[in-house]
Chain A
Amino acid sequence: MEDKILLAHGSGGKLMHDLIESFMPELANPILEKLDDSAVFDVSGRLAFTTDSYTVNPIFFPGGDIGRLAVCGTVNDLAMSGAKPLYLSLAFIIEEGLAVADLKKIVGSIAEAAGEAGVKIVTGDTKVVNRGSADKIFINTAGVGIVPEGVNISAAKARPGDKVIISGNIGDHGIAVLSKREGLKFHTPVPSDCAPLNGLVADILAASKDIHSLRDPTRGGLAVTLNDFARQSKAGIRIDEDTIPMNKAVMAACELLGLDPLHIANEGKLAAAVPVENAERVLAAMKRNKYGRDAAIIGEVVKEHPGQVVMKTSLGASRIIDMPVGELLPRIC
Chain B
Amino acid sequence: MKYVNEYRDPELGKKLLERIRRNSRKHIRLMEFCGGHTVAIFKHGLRQLLPSNIEMLSGPGCPVCVTASMDLDRAIAMAKLPDVIITSFGDMVRVPGSRSSLQKAKAEGADVRIVYSAQDALKMAKENPDKAIIFIGIGFETTAPTIAASILQAEQEEIKNYFVLSLHKTCPPIMKAILDLGEVKLDGIICPGHVSAVIGSRPYQFLADDYQIACAVSGFEPVDILLAVDSLVEQIESGQPKVEITYRRGVKEGGNPAALKLMDAVFEVGSADWRGIGVVPESGLQIRKRYEGFDAAKRFDIKVSTAKEPKGCICGAVLRGVSTPLECKLFRRLCTPENPIGPCMVSSEGSCATYYQYGEGSGR
User: Which residues of A does B touch, CB under 8 Å?
Assistant: 182, 186-187, 242, 248-249, 251-252, 255-256, 258, 260, 305, 308, 313-320, 322, 325-327, 329-333
Assuming the A-B contacts A308-B364, A330-B116, are A258 and B39 also in contact, with contact meaning beta carbons closer than 8 angstroms in the complex? yes
Assess whether B342 is interfacial by the CB under 8 Å rule: no
User: Can you give 10 contacting A-B residue pairs, CB < 8 Å?
Assistant: A248-B5, A249-B1, A251-B5, A314-B13, A315-B13, A317-B44, A318-B45, A320-B358, A332-B139, A332-B143
Q: Are B1 and A252 in contact (CB under 8 A)?
A: yes
A120→B8 CA distance, assembly (Å): 47
Q: Are A258 and B36 in contact (CB under 8 A)?
A: yes
Q: Are A331 and B36 in contact (CB under 8 A)?
A: yes
- Within the complex, the shortest CB–CB distance from A235 to chain B, in Å, comes to 15
Q: Are A331 and B349 in contact (CB under 8 A)?
A: yes
Q: Are B43 and A314 in contact (CB under 8 A)?
A: no
Q: Name B144's closest neighbour in chain A (CB-CB).
A: A333
Q: Are B10 and A242 in contact (CB under 8 A)?
A: yes
Q: Report, nearest first, the 8 A-B pairs whose CB atoms are least far apart.
A: A317-B45, A333-B142, A252-B1, A320-B359, A325-B337, A329-B90, A314-B10, A315-B13
A251→B10 CA distance, assembly (Å): 16
Of listed B8, B49, B139, B142, residue having the most chain A CB within 10 A:
B8
Assess whether B261 is interfacial by the CB under 8 Å rule: no
- Within the complex, the shortest CB–CB distance from A174 to chain B, in Å, comes to 15
Q: Name B13's closest neighbour in chain A (CB-CB).
A: A315
Q: Which of A252, A326, A329, A331 contacts B4 (CB 8 A)?
A: A252
* B98-128 Cβ-contact flags toward A at 8 Å (1 or 0): 0000000000000000001000000000000
- Within the complex, the shortest CB–CB distance from A260 to chain B, in Å, comes to 7
Q: Name B44's closest neighbour in chain A (CB-CB).
A: A313
Which chain A positions have C-beta within 8 A of B14? 315-316
Assuming the A-B contacts A320-B359, A329-B89, are A315 and B220 also in contact, with contact meaning beta carbons closer than 8 angstroms in the complex? no
Which chain A positions have C-beta within 8 A of B338? 325-326
- Within the complex, the shortest CB–CB distance from B146 to chain A, in Å, comes to 10
- Within the complex, the shortest CB–CB distance from B27 to chain A, in Å, comes to 21
Q: Name A330's closest neighbour in chain B (CB-CB).
A: B116
Which chain A positions have C-beta within 8 A of B10? 242, 314-316
Which residues between 33 and 65 of chain B lie within 8 Å of chain A, taking CB atoms? 36, 39, 42-46, 48-49, 63-64
Q: Are B49 and A326 in contact (CB under 8 A)?
A: no
Assess whether B68 is interfacial by the CB under 8 Å rule: no
